[in-house]
Amino acid sequence: MRHAWIALLVPFGLALDAAAQTGPALTDQQQLGRRLYTQSCLVCHTRPQITAGLYGPPLSRESAGGQTETMRAFISEGTPRMPAFKHHFAPAEIDAIVQYLKTVPKPAAPGGKAGVGESPVD
């Protein structure tokens, strides 16, 4: 029975790995940013289920008007609805998150249109 589960999961894992490699290759800094984003930001800035609500806006290269310094300030200083991460992340880690976000396309809104007003400062 155990071997059957492994046989089922291995192709699934290979498919996920192949899907992750279809986009442009991320630099080491962007990979670090993706890991940190996944660990600390994903919980509020993505939907855990299609029908679930979203606590924070979806983030992308267009968040904060696409301005690197503004993104860095939001992450460092926080907002009334978001904690400040300046004591959690080193400046280089905040830069890595920003560089990763610069690789993320703006998500399509329901109906296929890019959502206006979905980034923190739209």
Residue 2 domain-assigned (yes or no): no
Residue 111 has pLDDT above 80, yes or no: no
* C-alpha to C-alpha distance for 5 and 108, rounded to whole angstroms: 35
CATH number at residue 103: 1.10.760.10
| Residue 74 to residue 64: CA distance in whole angstroms | 8
Inside any domain, residue 50: yes
Residue 4 lies in a domain: no
Residue 19 counted as domain residue: no
* Cα angle, residue 36 at apex, residues 56 and 6 outer, rounded to 5°: 105
Domain around 92: 26-122
Region 33-45: mean pLDDT is 95
Q: Which of 49, 60, 56, 62 is nearest to 85 (CA)?
A: 56
User: In total, how many domains does the chain have?
Assistant: 1
pLDDT in tens, 65-110: 999 999 999 999 999 999 999 999 999 999 999 999 999 999 877 6
Q: What is the pLDDT of residues 41-74, one digit of tens each?
A: 999 998 877 888 888 999 999 999 999 999 999 9
